[in-house]
Amino acid sequence: MSTLIRGGRIVTADSDFVGDVLIDGETIAAVGPQLEAPPETTVIDAAGKLIFPGFIDPHVHIYLPFMGTYAKDTYESASRAALVGGTTTLIEMCCPARGDDPIEAFELWLGKGERSACDYTFHMGVSRFDEQTAAALREIANRGVASLKVFLAYKGAFGIDDGELYDTLSLAKELGLIVTAHCENETLVAQLQQQLLAAGKTGPEWHEPSRPRRVEAEGVHHLMTFAEMTGAHVYCVHTSCEAALEAVQAAHLRGVNAWVETVIPYLVVDKSYAELPDFQGAKYVMSPPLRDRSEQPVLWNALRSRLISTVATDHAPFDFAAQKEMGRDDFTKIPNGIPSVENRVTLLYTHGVATGRIDLATFVDAGSTQAAKLFGLYPRKGTIAPGSDADVVIWDPDYRGQITAAEQEMDVDYSAFEGWEIQGRPETVLVRGAVQVAGGKFVGELGHGQFLRREPTHF
């Protein structure tokens, strides 16, 4: 079965022209002007629309046991939300607890994805490194996982010590895996939390002072040193501030192979949201925390200059009622996360492209192409080219609307962006040639998504 997307403005990270996209089955057969459609081809008129490669969110949490509760989404809800938002591939953090068996954890997470409507893969979390870990990680890599995740935070839970960090990076270098890392100094966080709580400072507004910018920057510097010593390739997730970016820039000058991710909340909301009264600020508690508004121009400039490679979400959905409220009397017990997998691409377009902060090529590169290249998916994903998967987003730049929890697909009881105006939206979204979104609504099939096996590329 073939589909012809006719007459749209096709934008990739390195091209921009008006033309057609011919899809044969699950792959793109041809791209160019005035393509001929084979008999019985379904034709989609994209005149006046933008045509993008399917977007990739390289940092989500869907199944997540965390802080005494579980993230609310399943792959059913999260994949629908992702697709309505233009994201056709999710890379989830597989986060076993320190005592869990890595292979059993991987298989648990893998099983959760079977009902996904979009494609998916994983970063394999390393929460300890002992005599069995290396063999387990080798097997998981052989099963198609080409990236790892470490936490330099959450002491006593997901966090690893320096010996484990060195061993993980050394193995990653050997196997050609890239290591994604949550960078904060866990000891400083623990000490600052204790001091604030002892002083009676218990509300969500004290979350940011317990994990200030310098604590994040020190974590990045620490990772860069270990990457330099081992030769491993590393990727700093959810980078929030100038001081952390400077630590990466300094490492670049020393030849360290390092890349930077930021997440959409840091670009559009600031720490004043976490200071809202009546515990409403708990809706905006994530780690590293939202920063002062003065950090946002720095992040946008770093994105435009490509010091920041990717824009993800760190999607971690917890209800305000019953879950966020677990920390009403102690901010350290508020489950961390801002649900945003559904809103990432529209917010990036509205506050980035529509305002002139970034151009369309950067929008596509940061939202799709760089993730595909860094994590072993390119050119299958992340571009519109013959032979690539037919993951295509037809974007209506003239659409105007509002974000509201009442209409979202995410299975959570609030929106961090309630009432916000958006410009443009995904009108039609295809995953491997199948229409999963039409008219901005999910019309697809749960279970259509596939686990994406990846090969190591970071030797």
pLDDT grade, residue 157 (50/70/90)?
Answer: confident
Percentage of the chain exceeding pLDDT 90: 97
Count CB atoms within 10 A of the CB of residue 349. 25
Q: What pLDDT is stored for residue 137 in this prediction?
A: 98
Residue 308 has pLDDT above 80, yes or no: yes
Per-residue confidence (pLDDT) for residue 434, from 0 to 100: 98
For residue 94, the one-letter residue type is: C
SS (H, E, C) the chain: CEEEEEEEEEECCCCEEEEEEEEECCEEEEEECCCCCCCCCEEEECCCCEEEECEEEEEECCCCEECCEECCCCHHHHHHHHHHCCEEEEEEEECCCCCCCHHHHHHHHHHHHHHCCCEEEEEEECCCCCCCHHHHHHHHHHCCCCEEEEEECCCCCCCCCHHHHHHHHHHHHHHCCEEEEEECCHHHHHHHHHHHHHCCCCCHHHHHHHCCHHHHHHHHHHHHHHHHHHCCEEEECCCCCHHHHHHHHHHHHCCCCEEEEEEHHHHHCCHHHHHCCCCHHHHHCCCCCCCCCCHHHHHHHHHHHCCCCEEECCECCCCCCCCHHHHCCCHHHCCCCCCCCCCHHHHHHHHHHCCCCCCHHHHHHHHHHHHHHHCCCCCCCCCCCCCCECCEEEEEEEEEEECCHHHCCCCCCCCCCCCCEEEEEEEEEEECCEEEEECCEECCCCCCCCECCCCCCCC
For 376-389, the pLDDT digits (tens) are 999 999 999 999 99
Position 67 scores a pLDDT of 85
Question: Whole-number mean pLDDT of the chain?
Answer: 97
- Mean of pLDDT values over 57-74: 95
Amino acid at 23: I
pLDDT at 91 over 80: yes
pLDDT of residue 45: 98
Contact assessment for residue 58 and residue 89, using Cβ atoms and an 8 Å cutoff: no
Q: What is the pLDDT of residue 1?
A: 85
66 pLDDT higher than 90:
no
Contacts of 318 (CB under 8 A, 6+ apart): 69, 71, 72, 324, 335, 337, 339, 412
What domains can you pick out in the chain, each with its CATH number? 2-52+386-400+419-442 (2.30.40.10), 54-374 (3.20.20.140)
Predicted pLDDT at 155: 76
Residues whose CB falls within 8 Å of the CB of residue 168, separated by 6 or more in sequence, listed in order = 126, 129, 148, 150, 160, 179
Give the per-residue pLDDT at 68. Answer: 87
The mean pLDDT value for 90-110 works out to 96
pLDDT at 117: 98
What pLDDT is attached to residue 185? 95
Q: Tell me the pLDDT band of 156, cut-offs 50, 70 and 90.
A: confident
pLDDT tens track for 15-42:
999 999 999 999 999 999 999 999 999 9
Indicate yes or no: pTM above 0.95. yes
Tens of pLDDT, residues 401-457: 999 999 999 999 999 999 999 999 999 999 999 999 999 999 999 999 999 999 999
Confidence class for position 138, pLDDT limits 50, 70, 90? very high
Q: What's phi and psi for 353, nearest 5 deg?
A: -70, -50
pLDDT of residue 30: 98
What is the structure's pLDDT at 455?
A: 96
Q: With a cut of 80, say whether residue 153 has pLDDT above it.
A: yes
